Amino acid sequence: MDTVFDILQASGPTYNVSSNQVVRVESTTGPNSHWVGHWITTTDHLRFFPITFTNVVGSGGANGCLVYSLETGSSSSSFITDIPTTIGQDRLKIQFGKQYELESLTDDNISAISVVANYTESNFSLNTTFQPRGSLLFNGGSGSFFWGSDFNQGWANPAAYTSGVFTLNGTTHTIDSKRSTTWYDRQWGDTTPTQGWHWFPIQLDNGIRISTWIVPADKGSAIKAFATALCPNGRQEVVSVSPDIKPSNPWDSSKTNRTWFGSFEVSFLDEYNSVIKATSPNITIRHFGEASFGAGFAFCDSFTLYSGTWKGKKVSGWGVVEQWPAT
């Protein structure tokens, strides 16, 4: 009997990951994003969670960063809308002057990618290289999934070898590659959900990686809630998820007056009734993860610890929770 995963694999697109890296999206209402999340331990045993991201659609684009210190609780963020100065045609390269550059170091556009960023307003810069390890994760099993009012494309390498340096508030830190990792997320399409979404990229200590989406669909359709689990042996499984994620531990941003949440509960509709809880430590005191687009809009990507059960076994791990409100 065919499983949901088998059906999705059979009916999904054939991907050329190398060419996916240089896809151009002309629709200004859709995403064309490269999201890079680093979970870093430095050579002096400090822990940081920096994110860099870019989105290039039509002739314009944006880039930004968030960085959070697990020890001190200090955080900063930047979001810049601008016109890219360089967009590679066959080779991945997205550059916004001296502020941001994402570039493939290899001809296949995936084996080694560098990020160089300088955000003076956040007192943050970095120069990192990540090299994907293991299998790629294809959202929905095929990489094509319903996102808002239309289908979207998305895949990730959730376990990349990471090296480099970064500077925060005048202090330069060197990444300890043996104790650091990167989740690289690639997504593109013609539309963006107007009702927002929650995204849970879950990294379990046992090596399983789970990309979970809660997306209220547009045009009155039902909420789309599903997870794609990638096992260490490369096997993928698509699991339905309850749209009730039980947000708790609210906090109010003094910058945007928005309310965000520090805890959630993800209930998987599998034969084991798996449940994984997401908790952002000390977030109601430290208030971290928000990046604003000026006064009108903001989102929140907060460092998160995960714990619960998966397939009948106790699990724990780390990751992020992305809260993107309706527009």
Q: What confidence tens digit (pLDDT) does each residue in 309-327 have?
A: 999 999 999 999 999 988 7
- Is 294 a residue whose pLDDT tops 70? no
pLDDT of residue 103: 98
Q: What is the pLDDT of residues 214-258, one digit of tens each?
A: 998 666 566 689 999 999 999 999 999 999 999 999 999 998 999
Among 3.40.720.10, 1.20.120.1200, 2.40.370.10, 3.40.50.720, what is the CATH number of 4-324?
2.40.370.10
Distance in angstroms between the alpha carbons of the first and the last residue of the chain? 42
Over residues 91-95, mean pLDDT: 97
How far is the C-alpha of 185 from the C-alpha of 245, rounded, in Å? 22
Strands (E), 169-297: 171-174, 181-189, 197-204, 209-216, 223-230, 236-240, 248-252, 259-267, 275-279, 290-292
pLDDT of residue 326: 82
Q: At residue 298, what are phi and psi to the nearest 5 degrees?
A: -155, 160
Mean of per-residue pLDDT scores for the chain:
92
Measuring CA to CA, which residue among 261, 263, 221, 211 is closest to residue 241? 211
pLDDT of residue 296: 72
- Is 10 a residue whose pLDDT tops 70? no
Over residues 61-75, mean pLDDT: 95
Residue indicated by tokens 């604003």: 292
pLDDT of residue 213: 96
pLDDT of residue 86: 96
Structure tokens given for 121: 């307003």
Under DSSP, the state recorded for 108 is T
Confidence tier at 27 by pLDDT (50, 70, 90): confident
pLDDT of residue 203: 98
Over residues 5-20, mean pLDDT: 62
How far is the C-alpha of 300 from the C-alpha of 325, rounded, in Å? 9
pLDDT of residue 3: 34
pLDDT of residue 223: 67
At 266, which amino acid appears?
V
pLDDT of residue 13: 57
pLDDT of residue 297: 81
Structure tokens given for 149: 């009012």
pLDDT of residue 11: 47
pLDDT of residue 64: 95
Q: What is the pLDDT of residues 100-127, one digit of tens each?
A: 999 999 999 999 999 999 999 899 999 9
Q: What is the pLDDT of residues 133-175, one digit of tens each?
A: 999 999 999 999 888 778 889 999 999 999 999 999 999 999 9
Over residues 93-104, mean pLDDT: 97
